Structure 1
């Protein structure tokens, strides 16, 4: 096959990306989609970010979607490349993030012969993607890519995977003028909103839980006013803490791992739960114990963009199939409560006091107090700083003691994916260079994607990486100690010199072993003109705040 100046399948794809507002693409290049790379060469309005591993590329694309509110886009090659990308796809599926993953595929004449690196797109990705298909006809690219964008962004948002046969990308394509894909979202009916207001007026112990995807700064502000107007305590779902200002007097805390017992009691004792955007998953409901399935002990109002979600686990008394943004618009039209009963006022005060007590840093043995460090960061960083993390017990300190004030300030995988923090911070910094981007990672978590430090250096994404190093897979060790006391096995880590590793990639780095040394080290990191790693040395025996 030879290339020429014709408008081919690769150029058609890039043009459709441009029409739909894509300005950045993440990839590990492969020979299976060379025409796309060639077309991107002539598309200066779309930046190509070359990553070091496909899992890092798909996680960056997913985090970029969360940061910008537009679909993330990732190109990977077939076989091993697509298998690696599955890590970020799973994050997008469980986090309801619009993500487009294009997989270079074997030529059409080779398919279904187990050709070199061939992969069955539908079989491999079908259980995590909203749509997974091998494209076969270059003339249908405008139709199928329009469907791709619409599917990823409509209803409950999520990932879409398209297989791109190599030979199809070289075929000449007749250019077709195509508009941007439509996004289809439901709007709550006036009768449903009237019923919601009636139920809220009747409640003495109401509690809202905000979560899910499809949020932006405008709808968050509207739903904050909704809580104020109705004297409504608000909890945030697992790793969705930036859906509500954590310093607001109506904030009740995050329904998360290591949940505040006072918040757990609020959820259990509430006589009305208003779930906005969230699926009410197992972490938010403490493994379905705080909200019983299928019939909750609380009256339940469930607002969700997917009509199949309310009723799939819990039977709501009122369900509204609507996007968060459309619900926020409708909620803004409800008249504010004229006066709260003494019982409602006491309930709101109880929620606030429980959260304030829980957020005070704890004191633990050793010279480095992670709670104090996270609390200090909450006072030092601006409200719009972005904090990202992967998975591990170190996240318990971050989620409990850091106050997420600004919209878009948290990037954390509800799927519990290790390695997510660094790619997410890089994507956030590329999208919003003016905002500080700080990644929290455990030593095991960091080493899942640490090679992406090279990507950060190459593209000038000056992220700050805080590695909490306790020489172990701490969360697994905690569960092991609980179920098999005295029989730790397979959870110790022999780590590299983290400072030397970061410096080898071209980043700055400092090791911190005492609380009092952290502030100066962090100021050094903030002032640096390159990515910077701070290694915090923790005692492996300290597994939770």
Structure 2
């Protein structure tokens, strides 16, 4: 975890721009940065060498940016990433996009050509304001070394405040070598926006008059204390609580109030229950395309239900769905204010909550058998038996359905998954998580195509001694795309087949541990051996291609699509 920002600014004195920048990072509590070295910011690398900042040397900028994003997601402070100009920055854009859609605080520092060369299309020149202007929350280029404390302070504030997100800061190389005498700025702490007393009184009245209420948790700016406050609120009101897409860590799945996640492959019974609700409290999230089921969960713009939307950014309130009550508040402040909301004398929806819980357990308790010699249910049972604070990471692909539907996330900070649907996210996120929390168990569940998007970061894990375990589910295809392909163009397979390496040998080639699973009885012993090795590890799981989802096989999916076409 990041340390608390320093409280006393450093004494001023003549320093290079790079030194001023690094001092500003240290003053804001930065203890770790991720990046790929580049000649455009050599001065920063030299300045970092004189500090205790842990610089994690990565193998590709996309992986470095995803590690920084994961760091920001876990700590609530901006994850820091350094990349070089041109291709370095464009490679890193994948991680910037994750941070934007996931509302994660992150700062990407990019080396830039010297100021005197701008506008000539110099070597690797990029207009970062233009390129990242719509992808980041703020994109800026520093023109004067004396302004570095000002701009870095603003970058931290923009990244954390309101709806968090990524900031891109371009660093002309001559600015980094320029001398300036300027004091450091004070450390930055984001403002907390508290709900008004009137808002909370209205919420209480709406709850008192409700018959079928439900709460949905999502977004960023949560912490363990806020989650605990919502748990107490749910207990006092006997309220069913859902998690938004890939935000299951916001409420313990083993609690009787938990009703499931509102994401891809949603429980049909939960979907029906949400549509039957007469009061929906959406706290922290945006109700974007996935949780809103393609904006069909409720009508737009009038949802046709009493919707209470709580968000840290006023611009997100009413962006798509117009709420009956809009509360501009951070999740942490709102959760604290819930302590003052009193339940009615008699709660009439206890059966409603109990039914929601029963539906969740019926949908998730026992993973169904899948085709082939290896059963994904074995992986689920293994994950459930790991310590409650285990961090489970994943990227994108059909393999993740088993994790999101059947695993039990039991605490805040135990899930790293991209709401942006970015392939390649899981493994670098796991490396970052284990680097930040060496005492905790960290596992990445990856698809075969997913893993090879950023698989070179296995070298990073080995180099830095980060013993993370990756479970690579190999079905020889881009499974999600193949699933959609069979639905839309059944039996016309094109471009989705993969020829994969021996992933266990891949791990050993880097100096890690690798083991292959081809039969179900090998699964648990292989995972045990990976964790016991004390090395970065890959458990290569050869899954039958027929196991396309927990509920259908590839052949059945194709036959259903062909039959529908024949009938049509």
Asked whether 1:184 is paired with 2:202, we answer no
For residues 107-138 of structure 1, what are the alpha-carbon distances to aligned partners after superposition, in whole Å with 9 as ceiling and x for unaligned? 00001111110001111101111110111011
1:211 to 218, 223, 229: 218
2:157 to 138, 150, 161: 150
Counterpart residue number, 2:411: 406
Q: How many angstroms apart in 2 are the aligned matches of 1:69 and 1:167?
A: 32
Counterpart residue number, 1:95: 102
For residues 354-411 of structure 1, what are the alpha-carbon distances to aligned partners after superposition, in whole Å with 9 as ceiling and x for unaligned? 0001112111222111023213321x20110000000000000010110000211100
Counterpart residue number, 2:33: 25
Where 1:388 maps in the other structure, the secondary structure is strand
For residues 333-371 of structure 1, what are the alpha-carbon distances to aligned partners after superposition, in whole Å with 9 as ceiling and x for unaligned? 222443311xx0111011000000111211122211102
Alpha carbons 1:267, 1:291 under 8 Å: kept: no
Asked whether 1:385 is paired with 2:384, we answer no
Counterpart residue number, 1:540: 545
1:295 to 295, 302, 316: 302
Counterpart residue number, 1:365: 371
Asked whether 1:493 is paired with 2:501, we answer no
Q: How many angstroms apart in 2 are the aligned matches of 1:96 and 1:364?
A: 35
Counterpart residue number, 2:314: 307
- After TM superposition, the structure 1 stretch with the greater mean CA deviation from structure 2, 510-519 or 331-340, is 331-340
For residues 59-86 of structure 1, what are the alpha-carbon distances to aligned partners after superposition, in whole Å with 9 as ceiling and x for unaligned? 0000011122211000101100000000
Q: Please, what is the CA RMSD of the aligned residues?
A: 1.1
Shift of 1:519: 1.3
Alpha carbons 2:193, 2:328 under 8 Å: kept: yes
Q: 1:93-492 residue pairs with structure 2 within 5 A?
A: 93-341=100-348, 344-359=349-364, 360-378=366-384, 380-492=385-497
Where 1:150 maps in the other structure, the secondary structure is helix
Shift of 1:539: 1.2
Q: How many angstroms apart in 2 are the aligned matches of 1:19 and 1:337?
A: 48
Q: TM-score, normalised by structure 1?
A: 0.97
1:71 to 64, 71, 78: 78
Where 1:351 maps in the other structure, the secondary structure is helix
Shift of 1:6: 5.9
Where 1:275 maps in the other structure, the secondary structure is strand
For residues 402-437 of structure 1, what are the alpha-carbon distances to aligned partners after superposition, in whole Å with 9 as ceiling and x for unaligned? 000021110000000000000000000011111111
- After TM superposition, the structure 1 stretch with the greater mean CA deviation from structure 2, 159-168 or 66-75, is 66-75
Q: TM-score, normalised by structure 2?
A: 0.93
Where 1:332 maps in the other structure, the secondary structure is helix
- After TM superposition, the structure 1 stretch with the greater mean CA deviation from structure 2, 260-269 or 21-30, is 260-269
Where 2:498 maps in the other structure, the secondary structure is coil
Q: How many angstroms apart in 1 are the aligned matches of 2:134 and 2:91?
A: 16
Where 2:456 maps in the other structure, the secondary structure is helix
Give the number of equivalent residue pairs. Answer: 537
Alpha carbons 1:135, 1:165 under 8 Å: kept: yes
Q: 1:511-526 residue pairs with structure 2 within 5 A?
A: 511-526=516-531
Contiguous gaps of at least 5 residues in structure 1: none
Where 1:511 maps in the other structure, the secondary structure is strand
> Runs of 4+ in structure 1 displaced over 3 angstroms?
none
